[in-house]
Amino acid sequence: MENSLIVNNHEGEGKECDVEEGGSDAEEEERPAWNSKLQYILAQVGFSVGLGNVWRFPYLCQKNGGGAYLVPYLILLILIGIPLFFLELAVGQRIRRGSIGVWNYISPRLGGIGFASCVVCFFVALYYNVIISWSLFYFSQSFQQPLPWHECPLVKNKTNVVPECEKSSATTYYWYREALDISDSISESGGLNWKMTVCLLIAWSMVCLAMIKGIQSSGKVMYFSSLFPYVVLICFLVRSLLLKGSVDGIRHMFTPKLEIMLEAKVWREAATQVFFALGLGFGGVIAFSSYNKRDNNCHFDAVLVSFINFFTSVLATLVVFAVLGFKANIMNSKCVAMNTNKILTLLGSGILEQSLIPHHINLTQVNEVSGEDYHKMINVIKGVKEDEFNSLGLEACSIEDELNKAVQGTGLAFIAFTEAMTHFPASPFWSVMFFLMLVNLGLGSMFGTIEGILTPLIDTFKVRKEFLTVGCCVLAFSIGLLFVQRSGNYFVAMFDDYSATLPLLIVVILENVAIAWFYGIDKFFEDLKDMLGFMPYRFYYYMWKYITPILLMVLLCSSFIQLIMTPPSYSAWIQEEAIEKTLRFPPWGIVVCISLVVMAILPVPVVFGLRYFNIIDENTSGLSTVSYKKGRIIKETARPEEDDDASLIHGKSPSEAPSPMPGNSIYRKQSGSGGTDVDTAPNGRYGIGYLMADMPDMPESDL
C-alpha cells in the first residue's frame, strides 16, 4: 500500500515498447512527460488553435450578426466547451493512456469510442495536411515581386488576357487554375497535380519527422509553431489598421444584428464551432494530457486554453475584417471610377444632361471622384430619371455591400486575403508571413491529430513509435493523393463536411455519458479531488450529468436533420464560365459521404457487440488469468507494486473491489512462464492495468 496513487512510473511509448515487462518498476521506463507546464499549454493551444480560428470563425461572425454572434458563442463555450475540455483533460491525466486505453478502463464495452476517435483523426489528418500543402505552395510562390497573382496573365504569344481570368479576378484565377488546376466536377479526376503532390509529400515529411521525436521534441517545436501565429496576427492587425478603410471593416464586424441572435441556426453553428475549435473528441486532448504529472491542475488548463482559443478567434476576426475593410475600399474605388466613366459616356452621348452633375464634382479626373460625390450624382440621376435608371447600368458602389460578401475557408485565405495583400506595400513580405502562419497553425493542429492516432495505438498494441509513425504517414500520404488530383479540392470539401461532424458529436456524447453514467459522476469527482487537491465546482456536476449531454443531443439531432434536408452538394469551378456552381454529388459520391460517417462511428457498436456477446473476452488467446461469472470478476491477478485508485478512494481494500478490467499481469511477459511470451493485448485492451488492484499477498501467477 505504501506507493498508492503513484502513476507516473509506467509504460510509455517509443523506446520503452520493447522493454521486457516481467520484473519490477525499475525495469520499466517512465512514460514521457512534458519538460515544462508552458510546453504542455503551448501544445494544447497549438492543437486547439487552428485554421478554423482564422478562416471559419470570422466568416461565422460576419454571417451571423457580427458582434452579436460572440454572445451565443461565449454562452456555449461555458456550457459545452469548457466542461467537455476539462472532462477530456482530467480523464487523460487520471488514467494516463491514449483514447483507446482510457475508454477501455472506464468500461470495456465502450472501448470502441477510442477506436472511433482514431478513425476520425485519421480522416481529418488526410485532408488537413492537404490544406497545409496548399499553404506551402503559396508560401513558396510569395518570394517574388510583384506577387504571381497580382494581375491576369496573357494568352501565350498574344496580347490579350486569359479569358477565364478576365471573367473572374487575378487571385481567383491563380487559385483555381495555377494552384489547383481544378476540373469542372468531382467525376473528372484529371490526373495528379504534380506541384501539389510535391507539397503534400513535404507536408507529410514535416509531420512525420516531428512526430518520430515524440512529445518532448514536438513540445520544443510548439514554442515556435504556437507563438509565431500570434506575432503575425498582431503585426497584421497593426499594419491593416494603418490602411485606408480598415476601420469600416471593424465597424461592420462590431455592428450587432440582434434579430439574427434569435435564430436557431446561429446557435447550432456557434455550438459546432465551439466543439471543433477545442478539438473535442479527436483524442488529441486526451493524448497530450496523458503525459502530465498526476497532480497537475487540469481545471486551470481547461479554462486557460479555452479562453486563449476564444481570444485568438476574436484577434483573427479583427485582422480579417480590417483587411477586408481595406479591400472593400479598394473595390469600391474601382467601382466608382468605372461607373464615373460610364456617366461621362452617357453625358457625351446626350442621354444625361450636364445639369444633373453637382457643380463641385470634377469629372475630368475620374480617379479623384470620391464615393460620397458619386452617391450624390447617383441620387440626383435616380431622382430625375427614375423610370430609365435601371437601363443606364449604373451600380450603387456601396462599401457595406462589398463587406457583406461573406467568404470563408479557402475562399478567404487563398482569394480574398491574397487579393488584399497585393495592395499592401511590400506585399511579398506580408504574403510570406501570412502563409508561414497558416502552415504553423496547421502543423500545430496536425501534431495533436496525429498524437490522437499514435498514442492510443502505441499504448494498446505496444509497437515501436518510429515504425508506427512512418507507416501511418506513408499510408496517409498514399491515400492523400486522392486530394491532389485536379478534382482533389472537391474531395477535401466532402471529407470536411462528412467525415468529422456527426461522428465526433456521437463520440463526445458517448464520452460524456461514459463518465457521468457508466463510471459514475460521484466517483469521478472523488478522483478529481484526489488529483487536484480540491473538489471541483458543483457547476461541473450538473453540466456533465444533465445539461451538456442534453445540449449535445439537441445539436446532434439538428445536425442530422440539416444533413438530411440539404442533399450532399459541393461548390464546383466551371472553367468556361469562370464561376462557382453548386453541384450535387453523383450517386457514388453520396455513397462515399455516407460511408465516411458509418466507418468513423462503426467501431463503437462493433466493440460493444463483441464484448456484450462475449465474442471477445478476457480468455482470448490464453492471455487471461481472469474468470467471469455473470459479468463479475471472481479471480484476478495483479501486480504487487500497484493499487486500484478507485477502490482506495471508496475505502475498500483493493482485493475486495471489483475492477472494470483485469490486472496488468495479463499483458506482461511472464518471467517465470513456461508459456509463450506475450507483450500485446488484443482488441485495444492493453495498458490500463497499472491502475488496477494492488494485492501484495498474492504472487504473480504463471500462465
3-state secondary structure 275-304: HHHCCCCCCHHHHHHCCCCCCCCHHHHHHH
How many Å is the Cα radius of gyration of the chain?
Answer: 29
Q: Is 140 annotated in some ligand binding site?
A: no
Distances (CA, A) of 247 to 55, 374, 434, 565, 663: 20, 21, 21, 39, 64
Which residue carries 430609365 as its cell? 388
CA-to-CA distance for 462 and 465, rounded, in angstroms? Answer: 9
What totals of helices (H) and strands (E) does the chain contain, helices first?
30, 4
Give kind and range of the element (H or E) at residue 346. helix 298-348
The answer to whether 53 is annotated as binding is yes
**Structure letter (DSSP) for residue 635:** E
In this structure, are residues 104 and 685 in contact, taking their beta carbons and an 8 Å threshold?
yes
With 0-12 / 13-18 / 19 or more C-beta atoms within 10 angstroms meaning exposed / middle / buried, residue 328 is buried
Of 679, 674, 681, 680, residue with least CA distance to 703:
674
Give, as one character, the DSSP assignment of residue 629: E
Q: Please count the CA atoms within 13 angstroms of the CA of 539 that sit on its side-chain side.
A: 10
Is 325 known as a binding-site position?
Answer: no
C-alpha cell at 249: 471593416
Dihedral over alpha carbons 25, 31, 34, 37 (to 10 degrees): -60
What phi, psi does 545 have (nearest 5°)? -80, -35
Q: Which residues of 279-311 are buried (b: 16+ CB within 10 A; e: fewer)?
A: bbbbbbbbbbbbbbeeebbbbebbeebbebbbe
Asked whether residue 292 is marked as a ligand-binding residue, the answer is no
441 is in an annotated binding site: yes
Please report, as a single letter, which amino acid is at residue 413. Answer: A
List of residues 6+ apart from 199 with CB closer than 8 A:
133, 134, 136, 137, 140
**Pairing, β 627-629 against β 569-574:** unpaired
CA distance 138 to 434: 10
Q: From CA 190, how far away is CA 479, in angstroms rounded?
A: 17
How far apart (Å, rounded) are the C-alpha atoms in residues 662 and 680?
A: 14
Residue 387 CA from chain centroid, whole number: 53
Helices (H), 499-640: 501-513, 521-532, 538-542, 548-565, 587-601, 603-612
Is cis: bond before 146, omega within 30 of 0?
yes
- Return the number of other C-beta atoms located less than 10 Å from residue 676's C-beta: 11
Task: Please give the full DSSP string across 134-166, using - where no structure is assigned.
Answer: HHHHHHHHTSSSS-TTSSPPBPTTSSSBPHHHH
445 is in an annotated binding site: yes
Phi/psi at 154 (nearest 5 deg)?
A: -90, 155
Say how far apart CA 326 and CA 332 lie, in whole Å. Answer: 10
Q: Are 484 and 195 in contact (CB under 8 A)?
A: no
Residues that constitute the known binding site: 46, 49, 53, 309, 441, 445
Residues that constitute the known binding site for Na(+): 46, 49, 53, 309, 441, 445
